[in-house]
Structure 1
């Protein structure tokens, strides 16, 4: 059976390295009446994308996505930062078969095609669940045989459609109550607990190469629920039922990462199955603060470290990478800010925590950001200038701009930035209130200076 990390080489090549360094571009100046301009690409040394860091450690770093949003900045980050995608809702039963025998694969196909175009794997989610089933199914009156046939047909149809295209499936989702008893559901009531073994067997028959998982929440630490899952997996293995892994959803609350997380991963791994953190987010009570964001970063780092430490932990998937695409505010009143990027696609400290746990640094890639230097007014011995920092397909959480004056100019005053000059070199950094530059946004700061004889355009470095 192939690795859980990458699709089969016969179908798609191993993801190529996406490590990119942003080189300093030459700034060009254009003299005009009363205005001097200089602009160029950011010179900040970018860290490797998360996907490159993860692949270097043999891990998955994934995100749940919404297919219709895979364009613009959202698509750029989803494709550039992650080596695995999970459809948030596109492969659930109510989406793919809203009426009996009538299928809609549009969004699911879109996500798979995007992943293939970006050398990513796909994690199928989910085949058997107590929730998000179509009304025709939940409202029907079925005998055990009829229900079994419906389930087998659904699993076979969906898994066969994507045979060879998906690395893994969350075959059974959330089968347990908090006390470790089986959840009362359409499947448990109609087929008993053996619906789990049947579902796994049918999925394996439809695609023998896909990794098959049981996925649940509140099973991250050692507790009654995770022990029930452990006992189930052990039993399935002993019976020869195809089971390749367990998914720990990890919808966590700020400051409450289970202390037994790594121990729990290790005990499942000892059964001979893989473990994946499948739906990680860490919610906080709003509003967010610097202290809360720092705690969130520590929590993300703790989860990542636990996975990195265990060879059979396949990787970590965040349940949406940006707060604008998070389910938390709609479900948990007063809570949010649960993902590694804010709603403007600016990376939070949590992003840096993920990167450092994977062996990188906390400096996020800057993408395509530019700085434009202009002089709008000159007089006998002085001038007024400004620098505008703009981002497209990228974002900054802080910035610093520097340049060298070649004709003896001196800065005398600045606003909306903290500026200092040492010799010919000027360095300006963001104020406390304008460090964030979202994708599609800009920040401008101004200054007064002196000159004598000439006032040539300097080459500016953003970094």
Structure 2
């Protein structure tokens, strides 16, 4: 990547208690006439329990992980990380430039924080990464090396870092991104100074430093069967034949919407048939922004497909998303005009992709609307007479995530009741009212609005409601 048994607690609507409250605008009275519409339905659906990805994955015999930023492992970010994922990968904190910026001088605070968090939350740790051409300190990348001197520097670094966390790391990405797109060796400082053997040297050094950790070679654009993944396949086969310790292959899976390889599962299987484990190590699926409802639906299907491909192969160990929230994604900084690549939006709200992952892991959606972010509700009394009135309600989605199915609830402050509604199904129990979408207006893209209306009766007063909730998320006046 270039950027950035304890039972876990059940997620209570993905840390909704920490979400920014929605804003509410209560409109004044205007004149107008009501249209007639269908009578309301008799019942409401009950809220469903939210999926917990780590529990679902464990039931499938795999893990579900996320890359993390150590400094953010608190608040809502830390809560979701601990509750939803059973494996974490430090995004930058274990890279050579982070831990040994000066030769022989090591900084462990970030890496230690990630490992400590994982141990406190019964999570695996994927060590990332020991040998990589990028994010190297200047003294390594621009040094004057012979094969022997750089080999010593490399194996000493591996011995120190992997040795520090001996017995505490489940998987190490020992060598990262060794190939060019055409399957030739990338001409990194290690390749040019040491030659082809540097990969075997690094794996042997990692095995000596931590005999229990599983050792991986990790690369991108190797998810499907192509020249680059075939070069990786041939490397693994050769290492196995030489007796070099290699336990697994990491397929990064930095994907673009619409480009999940059709050969993904077959590719996972062919590596497994070599006798090594496979992991999806850095999954994100980017799209042009702002996202549309159709894009988010496609992203859901593609997260589901990638997760299902791993779950279908016995030696696929698990999946790691490269950051679970758009607020911590590397994509916008690197790919102009692209983003929205992760399962949660910037406000820590689960996107359709989150539910796609859950469905691939066996969760069944009962149709309850998904949670939403910020909204604006305008309530306007259009006409009023002795004992009746007509009102119009406009719901505007002011978050960055599409609403896919909505349910707006409020409580009458003065004993009013709804007698007829249009563009929504409205039910009432006592003073509690719920308006649910019609089949034709369930989707509300970011920035869009939906309007419904109703006739009601009143006596003594017709005070406007002062609080609304949208799909269980409180709006404020």
Q: TM-score range by the shorter chain?
A: 0.7 to 0.9
CA distance in 1, matches of 2:220, 2:426: 52
- Please point out which of 7, 10, 27 is paired with 1:16: 7
- For normalisation by structure 1, the TM-score amounts to 0.78
Aligned: 1:146 with 2:149: yes
- Alpha-carbon separation, structure 2, partners of 1:347 and 1:448: 35
* Residue in structure 1 matched with residue 59 of structure 2 by the alignment: 56
User: Contact 1:346 / 1:397 at 8 angstroms: preserved in 2?
Assistant: no
CA distance in 2, matches of 1:258, 1:20: 32
The counterpart of 2:323, out of the listed 320, 339, 342, is: 320
What is aligned with 2:347? 344
When residues 404 and 323 of structure 1 are mapped into structure 2, their CA distance, relative to the original with a 3 A threshold, is closer
Alignment-derived partner of residue 376 in structure 2: none
**Is contact 1:48-1:365 (8 Å) kept?**
no
Distance in 1 (CA, whole Å) between partners of 2:51 and 2:300 is 19
Q: Deviations over 1:152-203 (max 9, x none)?
A: 1100100011111111000000111111111111001111111101101110
Contact 1:160 1:207 in 2 (8 A): yes
Mapped pair 1:121 → 2:124: yes
Q: How does 1:218-297 map to 2 (within 5 A)?
A: 218-297=221-300
- 1:399, CA displacement in angstroms? 4.9
Deviation at 1:113, TM superposition (A): 1.1
| Inter-CA distance 162–413: structure 2 relative to 1 (3 Å threshold) | farther
CA distance 1:173–1:196, shift in 2 (3 Å): same
Instruction: Report the TM-score, using the length of structure 2 for normalisation.
Output: 0.76
Structure 2 CA distance for partners of 1:140 and 1:79, relative to 1, 3 Å = same
Deviation at 1:239, TM superposition (A): 1.3
- Cα offsets for 1:22-51 (capped at 9, x unmatched): 8xxxxxxxxxxxxxxxxxxxx732223111
Residues 10 and 83, structure 2, Cα contact 8 Å, conserved in 1: no
Deviation at 1:453, TM superposition (A): 8.0
In the alignment, which of 411, 415, 426 is matched to residue 420 of structure 1? 426
The one-character-per-residue Cα deviations of 1:326-383 (angstroms, maximum 9, x if unpaired) are 11111112211111111122222111111100001347998999xxxxxxxxxx9799
Contact 1:219–1:248 (CA under 8 A) maintained in structure 2: yes
Distance in 2 between residues matched to 1:421 and 1:365, nearest whole Å: 16
Q: Residues 433 and 226 of structure 1: is their aligned pair in 2 closer, same or farther, counting only changes over 3 Å?
A: closer
Alignment pair present for 1:90 and 2:93: yes
> Conserved in 2, the CA contact under 8 Å of 1:266 and 1:310?
yes
What is the rounded CA distance, in whole Å, between the counterparts of 1:244 and 1:292 in structure 2? 36
Residue deviations 1:92-139 (CA, integer Å, cap 9, x gap): 000001111211111111111111111111100000001100011112
- Pick closer, same or farther for the CA change 1:274–1:414 going to 2, 3 Å: same
**Cα pair distance change 1:183/1:147, threshold 3 Å:** same
Partner secondary structure for residue 48 of structure 2: coil
Q: Which runs of 5+ in 2 are unaligned?
A: 14-45, 374-385, 396-401, 473-477
| Residues 37-436 of structure 1 aligned to structure 2 (within 5 Å) | 44-362=47-365, 399-400=406-407, 409-411=416-418, 418=424, 420-421=426-427, 426-429=433-436
State how many pairs are aligned. Answer: 419
Give yes or no for contact 1:173–1:216 (8 Å, CA) kept in 2.
Answer: yes
SS in 2 for 1:421: strand
Q: CA RMSD in A?
A: 4.1
**Cα distance between partner residues in 2 of 1:179 and 1:401:** 54
Contact 1:92 1:127 in 2 (8 A): yes
Structure 1, 92-101 or 418-427: larger mean CA deviation: 418-427
Whole-angstrom distance in 2 between the partners of 1:76 and 1:278: 22
Which structure 1 residue ranges, 5 or more long, are not aligned? 1-13, 23-42, 370-379, 389-394, 438-444
- 1:364–1:112: structure 2 CA closer, same or farther, 3 Å change rule? farther
- Higher relative CO (Cα under 8 Å, sequence separation at least 6) belongs to 2
Q: Distance in 1 between matches of 2:198 and 2:314?
A: 30
Distance 1:90 1:382, change over 3 A: farther
Question: Relative to 1, partners in 2 of residues 1:204 and 1:396: Cα closer, same or farther, differing over 3 Å?
Answer: farther
1:61-103 per-position Cα deviation (integer Å, ceiling 9, x unaligned): 1111111111222111111111111111110000001111211
The secondary structure found in structure 2 opposite 1:275 is strand
Cα gap change, 1:336 to 1:404, in 2 (>3 Å): closer
